[in-house]
């Protein structure tokens, strides 16, 4: 059998149901006969393709398989691959190289693919012979899944697919286990006068969520989400939940100053942006970190770091700590901003997002509200496991990632700013072509509100002198209709509530006209 047939057999044996891609000439030898073993999911831009795969991997917990077209396709996908690495998304990405028989002459579409891929991936490898492809697939598959998870690239020349290759050798790799030294962490947590837990995306597994809840309630610990966390690992309606930490060092230090012990699990310690002087933690606060990432461990602002499986570590701590005699705070109530009586420039963001959060809470939500993400998360009630956010700060991720979540069997929604949505309107084609149950909520405040806020904070009174921060009027519902997707544009409380109450399955686009006044993001 040739390399193409061996890859198809490997996809079947590994149970990989989808290949995400946008085809080109170097992909034709790979794609021939593919849909006998896996469905090809077409995206109309490589950034969309990778973000879809990221969303699928995050929602399903499985490796997502991506196929990109040569140097131009990889170039288009670089930003999305960078986001996948920050999100810890397990992706196996094949990139087509030109025919080896004329590579010396630098033919059209050829390029330095390994050099392009390595800065934004966990690893990259060029497959030089057909007989090496099955082993390379297993290498990439397991490396993508091994903590810290991330995207791995295989470069495959287009003429290699016709070479003979041996059968795939599917193997089992067991992940690292329980970190060492947790006995000391138990003593530190139990003896803390005032304890805080800071949970990141690495703590968002079913077992870790249950253990975090048990640990927090046993010790009466306040719980925060890590700054710009890609996942939500703790019930937002729980009385011990304190919200999302801001990413600025000065504000993290301020929020955590009253705690003598802080345990960070499954997150960097700490993600910062924008710059503020000083450390993230005061000298009086002892910080413990649990992480699966050696680089994260070495860089951390922490007194003790436990390297190993985050879920096993939190579960161990929850089982070993002795419950304190603590009384939980009164159960939190959902914040409900008042319905506005007058709407001049657009709907108030706090009101509109609270209504959206309530209507979409049963869906897997991808949040790219950018400047309004803090407002949205402050009104979103979720038990965890159904929320995703791009940890890189790049735009255009949310709508495509929601498509991937829908392919994983989750009714999905993307809550996204107007500027962000225009980075990837091609998602509308894929949503319609595959009939995916996704609701796109476009928050139209006519510009990059987060940048307007930054400009004002950096140069008070001069923000209007910074160009490129406002957008001309865009009719997003007409854009959706051009792709065959129904939509609605709302600018009043009555229209918003009527539309939300009538929402069915997607694809559907809801454009909400918001007051464009800048909102402080952090």
Q: What is the 3-state secondary structure (H, E, C) of 310-327?
A: HHHHHHHHHHHCCCCCCC
Q: What pLDDT is attached to residue 425?
A: 96
In words, the CATH class of domain 182-320 is alpha beta
Of 479, 449, 492, which Cα lies nearest the Cα of 355?
A: 492
Look at 241 and 378; give whichever has higher pLDDT. 241
- Model confidence at 331: pLDDT above 70: no
Fold: same for 182-320 and 349-513: yes
Q: What is the CATH number of domain 3-162?
A: 3.40.50.970
Q: Which residues contact 518 (CB under 8 A, 6 or more apart)?
A: 371, 449, 452, 453, 456, 463
Domain extents in the chain: 3-162, 182-320, 349-513
Q: Average per-residue pLDDT in the chain?
A: 92
The 8-class DSSP code of residue 514 comes to B
- Tens of pLDDT along 165-199? 999 889 888 888 999 999 999 999 999 999 999 99
Which tokens in the block code for residue 473? 């009027």
Q: Fold for domain 349-513? A: Rossmann fold (3.40.50)
Lowest mean pLDDT among 233-242, 338-347, 399-408: 338-347
- Tens of pLDDT along 470-511? 778 889 999 999 999 999 999 999 999 999 999 999 899 999
State how far the Cα of 259 lies from the Cα of 282, in Å rounded to an integer: 10
Which tokens in the block code for residue 435? 């009939």
Q: What pLDDT is attached to residue 336?
A: 75
For 343-364, letters b (16+ CB in 10 Å) and e give beebbbbbbbbbbbbebbbebb
Q: DSSP strand E in 396-468: where?
A: 412-417, 438-444
Q: What pLDDT is attached to residue 297?
A: 92
State how far the Cα of 171 lies from the Cα of 191, in Å rounded to an integer: 44
Query: CA dist 510 to 2, 352, 365, 518, Å?
Result: 48, 12, 14, 22
Cβ contact 497:355 at 8 Å: yes
Which tokens in the block code for residue 202? 């690495």
pTM for the model stands at 0.93
State how far the Cα of 185 lies from the Cα of 24, in Å rounded to an integer: 53
State how far the Cα of 217 lies from the Cα of 213, in Å rounded to an integer: 6
């Amino acid at each position: 059998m040739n390399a193409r047939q061996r890859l198809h057999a490997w996809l079947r044996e590994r149970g990989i149901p989808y290949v995400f891609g946008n085809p080109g000439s170097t992909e034709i030898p790979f794609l021939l006969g593919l849909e006998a073993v896996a469905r090809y999911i077409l995206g109309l831009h490589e950034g969309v393709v990778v973000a879809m795969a990221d969303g699928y991997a995050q929602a399903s917990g499985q490796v997502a398989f991506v196929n990109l077209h040569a140097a131009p396709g990889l170039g288009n996908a670089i930003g999305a691959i960078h986001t996948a690495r920050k999100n810890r998304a397990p992706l196996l990405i094949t990139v087509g190289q030109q025919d080896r028989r004329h590579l010396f002459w630098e033919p059209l579409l050829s390029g330095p693919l390994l050099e392009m891929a390595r800065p934004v991936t966990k690893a990259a490898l060029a497959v030089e012979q057909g007989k090496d492809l099955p082993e390379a697939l297993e290498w990439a598959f397991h490396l993508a899944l091994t903590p810290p998870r991330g995207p791995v690239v295989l470069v495959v020349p287009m003429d290699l697919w016709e070479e003979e290759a041996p059968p795939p050798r599917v193997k089992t790799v067991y992940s690292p286990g329980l970190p060492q030294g947790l006995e000391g962490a138990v003593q530190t947590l139990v003896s803390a006068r005032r304890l805080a837990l800071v949970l990141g995306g690495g703590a968002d597994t079913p077992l870790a969520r249950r253990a975090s809840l048990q640990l927090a309630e046993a010790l009466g610990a306040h719980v925060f989400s890590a700054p710009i966390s890609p996942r939500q690992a703790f019930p937002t309606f729980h009385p011990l939940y304190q919200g999302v930490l801001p990413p600025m060092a000065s504000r993290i230090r301020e929020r955590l100053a009253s705690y003598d012990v802080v345990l960070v699990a499954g997150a960097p310690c700490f993600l910062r942006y924008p710059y503020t002087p000083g450390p993230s933690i005061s000298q009086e606060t002892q910080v413990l970190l649990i992480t699966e990432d050696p680089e994260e461990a070495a860089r951390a602002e922490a007194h003790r770091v436990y390297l190993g499986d985050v879920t096993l570590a939190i579960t161990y701590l929850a089982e070993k700590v002795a419950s304190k005699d603590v009384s939980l705070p009164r159960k939190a109530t959902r914040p409900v901003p008042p319905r506005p009586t007058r709407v001049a420039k657009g709907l108030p963001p706090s009101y509109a997002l609270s209504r959206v959060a309530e209507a979409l809470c049963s869906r897997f939500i991808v949040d790219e509200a950018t400047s309004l993400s803090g407002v949205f998360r402050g009104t979103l009630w979720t038990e965890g496991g159904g929320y995703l956010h791009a940890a890189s700060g790049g735009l255009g991720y949310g709508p495509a990632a929601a498509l991937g979540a829908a392919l994983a069997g989750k009714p999905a929604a993307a809550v996204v700013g107007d500027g962000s949505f225009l980075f990837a309107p091609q998602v509308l084609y894929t949503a319609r072509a595959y009939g995916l149950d996704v609701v796109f909520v476009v928050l139209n405040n006519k510009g990059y509100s987060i940048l307007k806020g930054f400009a004002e904070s950096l140069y008070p009174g001069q923000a209007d002198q910074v160009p490129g921060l406002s957008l001309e009027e865009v009719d997003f519902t007409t854009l959706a209709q051009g792709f065959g997707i129904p939509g609605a544009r709302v600018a009043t409380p009555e229209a918003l509530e009527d539309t939300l109450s009538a929402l069915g399955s997607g694809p559907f686009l809801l454009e909400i006209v918001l007051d464009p006044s800048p909102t402080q993001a952090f």
